[in-house]
Structure 1
Amino acid sequence: MYRETKGRNYRNYRNPCLTMHQPWASLLVHGIKRIEGRSWPAPIRGRLWIHAAGKVPDDATIKAMEDFYREIYAVNGITDLKFPEHYPVSRLLGCVEVVGCVRCEELTCWEEVPEGVRLEGLTDFCWLCEQPQKLIIPFEMRGFQGVYNLERKIYEAAVRSLVPVESPLPVNFPLPNPQDPFSLKAGSISVYLSESKTSGVEKSSRLNAAIAGARAAAVQFSKKDQHVQTNTIKNVNSNNIIRTGQLKSNSSVEDDIASNKAGTLICHNKEQSGCSRYERNSSTHKQLSRTKLSQHPGPPSKIFAAAMRGLRPA
């Protein structure tokens, strides 16, 4: 058993859940997608809850993935696929059973699984998924990165709302050791691979186009996410720099005031050429105003009260 790590990336999984983008999430829960591709090996075996991320998929991505699965199922003679009518986002959709994990090059040569399954291997690690189940009504919830534990209340409600899904082509991945659920992992089936080390599936032009479209959709999708994440990090860093500069400015003002140098302020913006003696930051102006008032106290209370009584409306 793995030790539990900090944050939400638990290794001591109780009710593991994985957040996926659409349309991949619904395709997996509906039993059409049988391989979940990742750049890292599956850390669990058994039930894995599937949550759809909040990004709404565009029509081109949906079409590319549906065309991809039409073609790879056609390799096994299945031409009538029923795709999900909707691809909801920010919802818990259902679950699958993760029975193993192999590398892409192993999956493509694994003769004991259907040809169409071998074509699903498009990433470094392939999580082998069976027994899809979906929720009657998807639950709205927030997801996280990586594999994380589902909240107990959500789990207790979700487990009562599961219904089995009839996959177009159910697959039972054989385990080298049925008594050990982790016996099927990256490198464990290398001795069972054919000597040719190549897939025996003959790819037509339509199949090649569908595979290329699926790869392009996944790559383009990941690039968009990486770009957004990069911009977010830059914005956060910029805000931190601004806040740091303001803090430095305020601390400098306090130091100057403490040394009776309130009129000498430093301009922290190097790009600003005509730097005045006073900081342009509004919070600094407020500090200076309060400082000047403290250095020049107002009139005594009796004089102030008399002056107020002598006021007349204009």
Structure 2
Amino acid sequence: MRGVGGGRGGGGRGSNFHGNYTNPCLTMHQPWASLLVYGIKRIEGRSWPAPIRGRLWIHAASKVPDEATIKAMEDFYREIYALNGVNDLKFPEHYPVSRLIGCVEVVGCLEREELSGWELVPEGVRLEAQTDMCWLCEQPQKLLIPFEMRGYQGVYNLEKKIYEAAMRGLTPVECPFPVKFPIPDPRDRFSLKPGSIAVHYPRSKGAEVLKSSNLDAAIAGARAAATQFTKKNQTSQTTQSTSPNGVMTRQMTNRSIEEEETRTTNFDTQSTSDLTSDNERKPNQIMLEGSSSDVQPPCADSRPRSGAPSKIFAAALRGLKPP
């Protein structure tokens, strides 16, 4: 788990959080963001462990989801909920973008293999284990009126005024199939962490979930939706970086990627520095969740900078004198 530095944002440091996160928030693409806040999605996937326990605010990025992506994810959740007898799943009527939309409680974090084999949780939840690290989420709450806000990469702290306004607008969500993850040690919020299942629940042998052809198709469709989004991001970024305009193009590319990440971060596929080709990508690296950047930010208040290091570097070069 990465270290975290001094955080910004409202409120005091709570006992629920690890490090200096105060009011942590995560920016996600739609439809994954709303599916999480509406309690349909129980697992938020990443390639890095959850750095916090407790409330995590969810911000929907600016990318408008296409109908095919929405349908693929809704079909996926219909099928996995049907395994647990829920056949009348109600999805959000709208998937707002560029908005803070609600929050969830992060109660633990497990590796994919651990969650997929954990017999104490329902079959449908186990099938949500499609990423290297699975953040376990409970108690979703949504904002009655989502309000506009800018997002950032990774986990970051909400500004105080945004946090205070959001707290006044929260309302609990009635989950279609509530799940309570058993925490090994209720006094230690980090007791449910990677490697804890074998120690605390040795009887979990990883029973195989029987899959129908419809379920297989739904899983494949959800994976394809995430993979297609990754390819689009790779293509646009590669085209920009290989433009023949030299240094200026490189600077413009960095800025455009940075600006896009501040608004549309976290699609839970690999990040721009961690992407692999389709031939190299393993099955458990094809993410179903909602992030476009899966890189661990260096500290709790990590914010993208708008080219300041480049300006300082350029100024330093101009001040150099030959020996």
* Equivalence for 2:214: 206
Max Rg structure: 1
Residue 111 in 1 paired to residue 119 in 2?
A: yes
* Residue aligned with 1:159, SS: helix
* Equivalence for 2:267: none
The residue correspondences of 1:72-151 to structure 2 (distance < 5 A) are: 72-151=80-159
Separation of aligned partners in 2, 1:12 and 1:235: 41
Separation of aligned partners in 1, 2:160 and 2:141: 19
* Equivalence for 1:32: 40
* Equivalence for 1:4: 5
Q: Encode CA deviations 1:234-253: one digit per residue, 9 max, x unaligned.
A: 5698343799xxxxxxxxxx
Separation of aligned partners in 1, 2:89 and 2:194: 30
Separation of aligned partners in 2, 1:236 and 1:12: 43
Amino acid at match of 1:150: L
Separation of aligned partners in 2, 1:45 and 1:121: 19
Contact 1:109 1:194 (8 Å CA) reproduced: no
The residue correspondences of 1:252-291 to structure 2 (distance < 5 A) are: none
Residue 161 in 1 paired to residue 169 in 2?
A: yes
Shift of 1:201: 1.6
Shift of 1:70: 0.1
Shift of 1:31: 0.4
Structure with bigger RCO (C-alpha 8 Å, 6+ apart): 2
* Residue aligned with 2:168, SS: coil
Residue 23 in 1 paired to residue 24 in 2?
A: no
Figure out how many residues of one structure are paired with residues of the other and give that number. 241
Contact 1:29 1:134 (8 Å CA) reproduced: yes
Amino acid at match of 1:4: G
1:62 corresponds to which of 44, 56, 70: 70
Cα distance 1:132–1:236, how it changes in 2: closer, same or farther (>3 A)? Answer: farther
Cα distance 1:15–1:234, how it changes in 2: closer, same or farther (>3 A)? Answer: farther
Q: Show structure 1 runs of 5+ residues with no match.
A: 244-314
CA RMSD of aligned residues (A): 2.5
Q: Encode CA deviations 1:87-113: one digit per residue, 9 max, x unaligned.
A: 111100000000000011000110111
Contact 1:50 1:95 (8 Å CA) reproduced: yes
Length-normalised TM-score, structure 2: 0.70
Percent of aligned pairs with the same residue? Answer: 71
Shift of 1:151: 0.9
* Equivalence for 1:170: 178
Shift of 1:54: 0.6
Contact 2:120 2:204 (8 Å CA) reproduced: no
Amino acid at match of 2:220: A
* Equivalence for 2:320: none
Shift of 1:190: 1.9
Shift of 1:3: 3.9
Separation of aligned partners in 2, 1:95 and 1:242: 37
* Residue aligned with 1:172, SS: coil
* Residue aligned with 1:107, SS: helix
Cα distance 1:6–1:224, how it changes in 2: closer, same or farther (>3 A)? Answer: farther
Cα distance 1:206–1:141, how it changes in 2: closer, same or farther (>3 A)? Answer: same
Contact 2:7 2:157 (8 Å CA) reproduced: no
* Equivalence for 1:42: 50
Separation of aligned partners in 2, 1:118 and 1:23: 20
Contact 2:39 2:173 (8 Å CA) reproduced: yes
Q: Which moved more, 1:223-232 or 1:155-164?
A: 223-232
Separation of aligned partners in 1, 2:217 and 2:102: 31
Contact 1:45 1:97 (8 Å CA) reproduced: yes
